[in-house]
Amino acid sequence: MSEPALRAEKLDAADDLAPLRSRFVLDGVVYLDGNSLGALPANVPDRVADVVRRQWGELRIRSWEESGWWTAPERIGDRIAPLVGAAPGQIVVGDSTSVNVFKALVAAARMAGEDRTDILVDATTFPTDGYIAESAARMTGRTLRVVTPQEVPAALGPRTAAVLLNHVDYRTGRLHDLPSLTAAIHASGALAVWDLCHSAGALPVGLDEHGVDLAVGCTYKYLNGGPGAPAYLYVRRDLQPRFDSPLPGWNSHADPFGMSPSYTPAPGALRGRVGTPDILSMLALEAALEVWDDVDITAVRAKSLALTDFFLQCVTAYTEPGRVESLTPVPHEERGSQVALRCEDAGEVMKRLIAGGVVGDFRHPDVLRFGFTPLYVSYAETERAARLLANVLT
């Protein structure tokens, strides 16, 4: 047995999070794509069956009240809140990440005031965020400026209305400095909007601690909510009375069943609701979030860093020098929970890895992405993935 394999055994034996693997449905493959779609929590199938057969099939319309369907968006938001460092009453679940980015960015521009004419957007963002930012700028009469996160402090000024940034770069796994960037944005008088899709459930975020204004995120990656699971919107408590959603719907009305022809927004984070909640996927998410019971997010972060460190060490030990290049930062304070490797034939390499039982993903044109979900990925699997990668590369 190789030295890395022996070390993996020791690391797994000392891993306090190892028992959490039993909370997931795992089938023997090395699953390193939880940064795209988390594994299935073991309790979800029976819960969804109950929602379909009893709540929908038997109680039917009564479930809006008796099964808690109506209050699900804010109730589940409160389940997510501790994972992103937020107090209850500031997160509402529903819609997609894209829709919530639109709501958050337009609302931020409106709150900033008409004299602030610029919106800054992360140049390295996931494409949809950029598309939405461009549309939000057109809708609000602002000018969109595209900058890298490192360029944000110098780009800020008295005309800046809002800044949309990703906490973790989806391609490279680079972690951006949320506390210092948020502070710089506030010092300029602008509002900070953060996309947490690649950080929530993998590392501490500290929304309240760092005074983030608005944040959005998906729930199907590290939160394991399932394909197409609803996203969430965070609105800092003191901003909620001023939050002016560009998508007012009957679900966010102060009196939704009054059916008034004029709109009066509900108080609090409920203003982020729009239409009828997608109950089946929302309650699957609620069940999935139970895997986080009694889990310390700082312990998750510690294991995430240890797993990615170990993977990089194994790749170095097993692969020919220069065959792959890591795009993921080495310093812990700059790293999310994934490793991105560049190689010329990345697409074919990933196909062969998947055929061999190691599932990551490929990003055009030459990037292999490996997501490390600390709740269910082991050190032995990490070593196995690096060893297979080396074999495929040779």
For the chain (394 residues), the mean pLDDT of every run of 10, in chain order, is 93 97 96 98 98 98 98 98 98 98 98 97 96 98 98 98 98 98 98 98 98 98 98 98 97 96 97 97 98 98 98 97 96 98 96 98 97 98 98 95
Active-site annotation holds for 237: no
- Do the Cβ atoms of 84 and 217 come closer than 8 Å? yes
SS3 assignment, position 368:
strand
Active-site annotation holds for 126: yes
Which residues share a beta bridge with 217? 232
Task: Quickly tell me which residue has 């309790």 as its tokens.
Answer: 43
> Of residues 118, 195, 213, 361, which has the active-site annotation?
195
DSSP string for residues in 204-240:
---TTTTT--EEEE-SSSTT---TT---EEEE-GGGG
Of 9, 11, 25, 36, the residue nearest 376 (C-alpha): 25
pLDDT at 1: 75
Active-site annotation holds for 47: no
> Of residues 31, 102, 220, 318, which has the active-site annotation?
220
> Of residues 79, 110, 174, 369, which has the active-site annotation?
369
pLDDT at 55: 98
Task: Quickly tell me which residue has 């600390």 as its tokens.
Answer: 374
Domains of the chain: 3-17+296-393 (3.90.1150.10), 47-292 (3.40.640.10)
Active-site annotation holds for 220: yes
pLDDT at 266: 97
CA 209 to CA 232: how far, in whole Å? 19
Omega within 30 of 0 (cis) for the link into 267: no
Active-site annotation holds for 244: no
> Of residues 126, 232, 318, 379, which has the active-site annotation?
126
> Of residues 116, 221, 271, 387, which has the active-site annotation?
221
| Overall pTM > 0.95 | yes
CA 268 to CA 353: how far, in whole Å? 47
Provide the angle, in degrees to the nearest 10, between the axes of the packed helices 279-288 and 72-80. 30
- Do the Cβ atoms of 164 and 133 come closer than 8 Å? yes
Tokens for 184? 């710089």
CA 30 to CA 202: how far, in whole Å? 18
